[in-house]
């Protein structure tokens, strides 16, 4: 806090913008007083710099590379869409073609207690950015047996197609069988990732462009660690290939959430209109309420504060964690050593929570008896619920 | 009517295990706790028969429980260990003087020999004097650095090559989160290791291990309570580091949401240690075998001269440490963005590649780092301090650097009444002599 006030004192809002030296500054971004125009430029540059490999010259004429952008309708993914839309226009006007084409996917999660975006918003987005292909699929379609058929349940018009009611029932049964809100939140995000991945692969996309901001990635670093999913951290935060057989990219990784929030109203289009509609992430009360708290919520709350007081520490934590190297495939263990739920490779086939140094109760070791889930998934899903999993 | 113990089914359950909510009777809880520590010891082959092992004893709950459990297991399972209590007197009035009394009683209760080594003897400074000079902020750095060396030196003087400490699962979890927060991969790669060691090339070749690594702090308290152990429960009076305090609060909150979180973080820490690039922590890269393999405990060279503090954090710090790091990171970032760095500095930062995730010029700067690595990653190499010979990745070890700073500001002649009757310690040169003297003694003893 002190340093922030100090900054204001020195840089002084309302003075000249530090970048263009012309306009009056209105916002302080990482030490610098910037004008609105320069902030917009700053945000764009940070994202587009991450997309070097998708420049026009890297794609064959007439066959733009297909990329999937999962759109939660939150501030980060909307900002990403907004910037990419501009990027593509730029490419088209400069070269007459584009380096890539966007598929936009919105997963509707109609689950009790879970925030769900209004499907009408997706229509609005489509009106603002009409050059892309839009899809919406319900989370429950994860139960469609053959996941690769997920794409069938959609229409290119972006209309919401309800999953069959039996799928929705199965999802509801699964989620209500989970013991805590922490488990539910964990499992929902895993199912979302799985659904998005399988959709992207079916649709022939070569990469998924996630909208995660620095702040969100920092949350993932700590939340994954706290859930015993540290082994999989690189696959959740690093750019590049994943065991899902598709590349992940995080073009918004160098921007803090608060920067996106400051940027939204300045962006010329209606990002702000739409993005203000979804509520801010639920902010739990100061005291930890065991019954309703989730690990994700707790960590989000932690970084909400850290981001405002120590933004550089947040960025530094993400940059450092991104240096972790995913376990090489020869360590993934024998064929089929993949978690039934999160579909990530389990090193040395070490499923479950008991077969390691800290996994003993009363000194009795029961290695390998826990079947098909990785450590993190075993913590979230009690044994008697495993049969309900898709 | 409380339910019966889920283990023996006969006694009344009086304890709900914080770790997994098992309901146990007192006898079963004590047995289970001991059995788990025993399993940790045997799986990791921590000891060999006849080994002389020093227990780093502070008089607090962790080391008291460790001493008690080790004494019990040593007898029960015939480890054949020669156990010694080793206590460091940091010289903190109102805290260490009282807790040392506890350690002395423990020595009698467990019938174990006790060796007390003081900062005054080793460094010519008590922590009280250090705080008087440097203030309350950052004094934990001094204490952490000094204690690490002190334990090694104490062990060496006892002819002991293995020091066990009372670090518990909460401590390890907290350190894992802390190292993630401050972006410290080399330490992240070591934190979760049960055994760390200083390399044999150095003067002191002391193995360190944490037999309570998987034990919950709450269960340690329960064990101490139900065993009626005599321990000292006051926390250190000086402030903890902010990063640790912040991580500690988070760990406690996470534990409340999901009790297994502490263990889950430890597990993540172990897994992530294997993901740290070899260029950052080459020695730790092979850590995994040790976890499941049993016999072959990986030796992780521990160059952690540490800004470590003592882990007694309870969140009172004003956040100065985080604010300092934040400031430094911003300055670095700013310099990198605007090319304000001089040529020399830029070169040492490595070549920025566009689109790469490697930080350019942004690193935690509270630690003196080697910048030679072309990838901009920090790598530590083991060497010896040119002044005292202690293991160090720098030319001069951290303790000597800190001592130099302290001694520089110490008046050459004191005015007023000094507690110490040894006026030599007032001389800035002689503090170093004291250290050198100690070193000679140790070398002599090692040779014996």
For B260-287, how does the pLDDT look when each residue is reduced to its tens digit (9 = 90+)?
999 999 999 999 998 998 877 654 433 3
Distance, CA of B185 to CA of A239 (rounded, Å): 19
Among A321, A351, A380, give the residue marking a domain's end. A321
Q: How many domains is chain A built from?
A: 3
Residue B216 lies in a domain: yes
Residue of chain A with shortest Cα separation from B180: A317
Question: In terms of domains, do B181 and B257 share one?
Answer: yes
**Is A226 close to B292, i.e. CB distance below 8 A?**
no
The band of B292, judged by pLDDT with boundaries at 50, 70 and 90, is: very low
Distance, CA of B71 to CA of B51 (rounded, Å): 14
Quote the mean pLDDT of chain A: 81
Question: In terms of domains, do B329 and B287 share one?
Answer: no
**Is B194 close to A365, i.e. CB distance below 8 A?**
no
Question: In terms of domains, do B281 and B361 share one?
Answer: no
CB B183 within 8 A of CB B365: no
Residues 135-194 of B with CB under 8 A from A: 169, 176-177, 180-185, 194
Question: In terms of domains, do B256 and B393 share one?
Answer: no
On the question of pLDDT at A218 being above 50, the answer is: yes
On the question of pLDDT at A6 being above 50, the answer is: no
Question: In terms of domains, do A98 and A68 share one?
Answer: yes
Residue B255 lies in a domain: yes
Q: How many domains is chain B built from?
A: 2
Question: In terms of domains, do A258 and A336 share one?
Answer: no
Note the pLDDT of residue A69: 97
**Any CB–CB contact under 8 A between A266 and chain B?**
no
Note the pLDDT of residue B135: 76
Distance, CA of A80 to CA of A254 (rounded, Å): 12
If you average pLDDT over residues B374-401, what whole number do you get? 68
The band of A80, judged by pLDDT with boundaries at 50, 70 and 90, is: very high
Note the pLDDT of residue A68: 97
Beta bridge partners of A364: A361
If you average pLDDT over residues A110-121, what whole number do you get? 66
Question: In terms of domains, do B68 and B175 share one?
Answer: yes
Question: Residue B396: how many CA atoms within 13 Å on its side-chain side?
Answer: 9
**Any CB–CB contact under 8 A between B346 and chain A?**
no
**Is A379 close to B213, i.e. CB distance below 8 A?**
no
**Is A309 close to B182, i.e. CB distance below 8 A?**
no
Question: In terms of domains, do B40 and B137 share one?
Answer: yes
* Residues 6 or more apart whose Cβ sits within 8 Å of residue A271: A75, A78, A79, A82, A264
Note the pLDDT of residue A164: 67
Question: In terms of domains, do B102 and B54 share one?
Answer: yes
Predicted ipTM of the assembly? 0.88
CA distance B122 to chain A (A): 36
Distance, CA of A43 to CA of A255 (rounded, Å): 7
Residue span of the structural domain in which B437 resides: 322-447
Note the pLDDT of residue A273: 63
**Is A298 close to B43, i.e. CB distance below 8 A?**
no
Question: In terms of domains, do B262 and B353 share one?
Answer: no
CA distance A252 to chain B (A): 12
**Any CB–CB contact under 8 A between B253 and chain A?**
yes
Over residues A43-67, the pLDDT tens digits come to 999 999 998 888 887 777 777 789 9
Over residues B126-144, the pLDDT tens digits come to 888 888 887 776 677 777 7
Note the pLDDT of residue B437: 57
Over residues B70-107, the pLDDT tens digits come to 999 999 999 999 999 999 998 888 888 888 999 999 99
Question: In terms of domains, do A105 and A199 share one?
Answer: yes
Count the Cβ atoms, other than its own, within 10 Å of residue A58: 11
Measuring CA to CA, which residue among A75, A125, A82, A84 is closest to residue A260?
A75
**Chain centre to alpha carbon of residue A312:** 21
If you average pLDDT over residues A23-50, what whole number do you get? 88
Q: What percent of chain A has pLDDT over 70?
A: 78
Note the pLDDT of residue B83: 96
On the question of pLDDT at B203 being above 70, the answer is: no
- B267, B275, B326 member nearest A358 (Cβ): B267
Lowest mean pLDDT among A153-157, A249-253, B265-269, B365-369: B365-369
Residues 67-96 of B with CB under 8 A from A: none
CB B168 within 8 A of CB B216: yes
CA distance B120 to chain A (A): 37
Note the pLDDT of residue A262: 87
Across A6-15, A245-254, A301-310, B421-430, the highest mean pLDDT is recorded for A245-254
Note the pLDDT of residue B302: 43
Q: Name the pairing type of β-strands B52-56 and B162-164.
A: parallel
Note the pLDDT of residue A331: 63
CB B155 within 8 A of CB B88: no
**Is A225 close to B22, i.e. CB distance below 8 A?**
no
Buried b (16+ CB within 10 A) or exposed e, A126-161: bebbeebbbbbbbbbbbbbeebeebbebbeeebebb
**Any CB–CB contact under 8 A between A292 and chain B?**
no
Q: Which two tokens stand for residue A178?
A: 């989970």
The band of B244, judged by pLDDT with boundaries at 50, 70 and 90, is: confident
Over residues B313-354, the pLDDT tens digits come to 333 444 577 888 888 888 887 777 666 654 444 434 444 444
On the question of pLDDT at B152 being above 70, the answer is: yes
Note the pLDDT of residue A116: 64
Count the Cβ atoms, other than its own, within 10 Å of residue A341: 22
Distance, CA of B32 to CA of B30 (rounded, Å): 6
**Any CB–CB contact under 8 A between A2 and chain B?**
yes
Chain B contact set for A227 (CB, 8 A): 261, 264, 268
Residue located via tokens 């999962």: A70
Question: In terms of domains, do A165 and A188 share one?
Answer: yes
If you average pLDDT over residues A181-198, what whole number do you get? 94
Residue B148 lies in a domain: yes
Question: In terms of domains, do A315 and A362 share one?
Answer: no
**Any CB–CB contact under 8 A between A57 and chain B?**
no
Residue span of the structural domain in which A14 resides: 1-34
Note the pLDDT of residue A236: 92
**Any CB–CB contact under 8 A between A311 and chain B?**
yes
DSSP 3-state of B326: helix
**Any CB–CB contact under 8 A between A375 and chain B?**
yes
If you average pLDDT over residues A326-341, what whole number do you get? 74
Give the ranges where B163-239 is alpha helix by DSSP (H): 169-181, 185-191, 217-226
**Any CB–CB contact under 8 A between B262 and chain A?**
no
Lowest mean pLDDT among A27-31, A240-244, B128-132: A27-31
**Is B256 close to A288, i.e. CB distance below 8 A?**
yes
Question: In terms of domains, do B292 and B149 share one?
Answer: yes
Q: What's the CATH number where A149 sits? A: 3.40.50.620
Over residues A260-301, the pLDDT tens digits come to 988 888 875 566 666 544 444 444 444 556 667 899 999 998
Question: In terms of domains, do A210 and A259 share one?
Answer: yes
* Residues 6 or more apart whose Cβ sits within 8 Å of residue B306: B141, B144, B145, B148, B398
Chain A contact set for B355 (CB, 8 A): 49-50, 52-53
Question: In terms of domains, do A144 and A251 share one?
Answer: yes
Chain B contact set for A315 (CB, 8 A): 329, 362
If you average pLDDT over residues A142-163, what whole number do you get? 52
Note the pLDDT of residue A123: 87
Chain A contact set for B327 (CB, 8 A): 3
Count the Cβ atoms, other than its own, within 10 Å of residue B168: 28
Distance, CA of A304 to CA of A284 (rounded, Å): 11
Lowest mean pLDDT among A377-386, B173-182, B236-245: B236-245
Question: In terms of domains, do A275 and A335 share one?
Answer: no
**Is B39 close to A365, i.e. CB distance below 8 A?**
yes
CA distance B172 to chain A (A): 12
* Residues 6 or more apart whose Cβ sits within 8 Å of residue A287: none
Among A321, A344, A377, give the residue marking a domain's end. A321
Query: φ and ψ at A211, to 5 degrees?
Result: -90, 10
Residue with the larger pLDDT of the pair A159 and A209: A209
């Amino acid at each position: 806090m002190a340093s922030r006030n100090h900054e204001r004192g020195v840089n002084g809002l309302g003075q000249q913008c530090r970048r263009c030296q012309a306009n009056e500054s209105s916002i302080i971004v990482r030490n610098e007083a910037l004008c609105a125009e320069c902030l917009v430029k700053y945000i764009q540059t940070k994202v587009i710099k991450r997309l070097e490999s998708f420049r026009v010259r890297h794609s064959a004429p007439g066959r733009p590379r297909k990329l999937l952008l999962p759109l939660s309708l939150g501030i980060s993914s909307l900002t990403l869409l907004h910037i990419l839309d501009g990027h593509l226009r730029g490419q088209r006007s400069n070269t007459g073609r584009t380096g890539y084409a966007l598929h936009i996917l919105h997963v509707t999660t109609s689950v009790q207690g879970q925030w769900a975006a209004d499907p009408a918003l997706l229509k609005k987005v489509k009106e603002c950015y009409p050059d892309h292909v839009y899809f919406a699929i319900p989370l429950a379609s994860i139960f469609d047996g053959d996941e690769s058929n997920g794409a069938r349940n959609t229409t290119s018009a972006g209309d919401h197609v309800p999953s069959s009611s039996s799928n929705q029932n199965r999802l509801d049964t699964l989620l209500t069988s989970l013991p805590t809100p922490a488990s539910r939140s964990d499992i929902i995000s895993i199912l979302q990732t799985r659904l998005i991945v399988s959709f992207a692969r079916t649709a022939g996309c070569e990469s998924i462009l996630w909208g995660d901001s620095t702040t969100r990635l920092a949350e993932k670093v700590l939340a994954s660690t706290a859930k015993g999913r540290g082994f999989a951290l690189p696959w959740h935060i690093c750019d590049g290939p994943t065991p899902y057989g598709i590349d992940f990219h995080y073009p918004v990784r160098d921007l803090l959430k608060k920067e996106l929030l400051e940027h939204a109203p300045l962006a010329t289009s209606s990002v702000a209109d739409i993005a203000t509609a979804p509520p801010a992430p639920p902010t739990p009360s100061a005291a930890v309420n065991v019954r309703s708290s989730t690990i994700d919520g707790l960590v989000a709350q932690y970084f909400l504060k850290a981001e405002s007081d120590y933004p550089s520490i947040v960025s530094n934590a993400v940059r450092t964690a991104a240096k972790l190297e995913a376990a090489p495939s020869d360590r993934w263990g024998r064929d089929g050593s993949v978690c039934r739920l999160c579909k990530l490779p389990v090193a040395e086939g070490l499923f479950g929570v008991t077969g390691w140094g800290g996994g003993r109760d009363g000194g009795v070791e029961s290695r390998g008896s826990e079947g098909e889930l990785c450590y993190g998934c075993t913590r979230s899903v009690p044994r008697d619920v495993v049969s309900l999993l898709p | 009517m409380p339910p019966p113990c889920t283990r023996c089914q006969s006694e009344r359950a009086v304890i709900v295990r914080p770790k997994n909510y098992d309901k146990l009777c007192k006898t079963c809880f004590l047995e289970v706790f001991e059995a788990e520590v025993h399993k940790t010891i045997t799986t990791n082959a921590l000891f060999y028969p006849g080994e002389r092992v020093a227990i780093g004893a502070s008089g607090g709950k962790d080391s008291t429980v460790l001493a008690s459990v080790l004494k019990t297991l040593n007898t029960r399972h015939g480890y054949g260990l020669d156990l010694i209590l080793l206590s460091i007197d940091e010289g903190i009035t109102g805290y260490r003087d009282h807790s040392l009394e506890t350690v002395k009683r423990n020595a009698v209760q467990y019938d174990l020999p006790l060796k007390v080594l003081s900062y005054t003897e080793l460094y010519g400074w008590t922590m009280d004097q250090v705080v008087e000079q440097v203030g309350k902020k950052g004094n934990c750095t001094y204490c952490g650095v000094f204690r690490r060396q002190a334990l090694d030196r104490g062990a060496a003087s006892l002819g002991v090559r293995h020091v066990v400490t009372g670090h518990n699962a909460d401590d390890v979890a907290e350190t894992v989160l802390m190292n993630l927060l401050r972006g410290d991969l080399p330490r992240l790669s070591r934190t979760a290791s049960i055994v760390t060691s200083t390399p044999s090339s150095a003067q002191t070749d002391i193995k360190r291990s944490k037999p309570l690594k998987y034990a919950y702090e709450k269960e340690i308290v329960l064990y101490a309570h139900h065993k009626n152990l005599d321990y000292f429960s006051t926390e250190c009076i000086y402030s903890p580091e902010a990063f640790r305090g912040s991580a500690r609060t988070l760990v406690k909150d996470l534990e409340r949401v999901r009790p297994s979180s502490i263990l889950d973080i430890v597990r993540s820490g172990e897994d992530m240690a294997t993901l740290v690039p070899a260029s950052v922590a080459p020695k730790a890269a092979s850590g995994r075998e040790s976890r499941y393999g049993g016999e072959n405990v990986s030796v992780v060279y521990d160059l952690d001269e540490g800004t470590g503090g003592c882990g007694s954090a309870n969140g009172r710090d004003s956040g100065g440490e985080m604010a300092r790091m934040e400031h430094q990171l911003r300055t670095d970032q700013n310099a990198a963005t605007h090319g304000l760095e001089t040529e020399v500095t830029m070169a040492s930062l490595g070549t920025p590649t566009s689109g790469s995730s490697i930080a350019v010029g942004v690193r935690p700067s509270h630690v003196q780092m080697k910048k030679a690595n072309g990838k901009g990653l920090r790598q530590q190499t083991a060497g010896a301090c040119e002044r005292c010979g202690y293991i160090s990745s720098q030319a001069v070890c951290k303790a000597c650097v800190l001592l130099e700073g302290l001694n520089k500001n110490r008046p050459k002649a004191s005015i007023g009444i000094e507690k110490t009757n040894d006026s030599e310690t007032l001389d800035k040169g002689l503090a170093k002599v004291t250290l050198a003297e100690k070193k000679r003694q140790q070398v002599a003893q090692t040779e014996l």
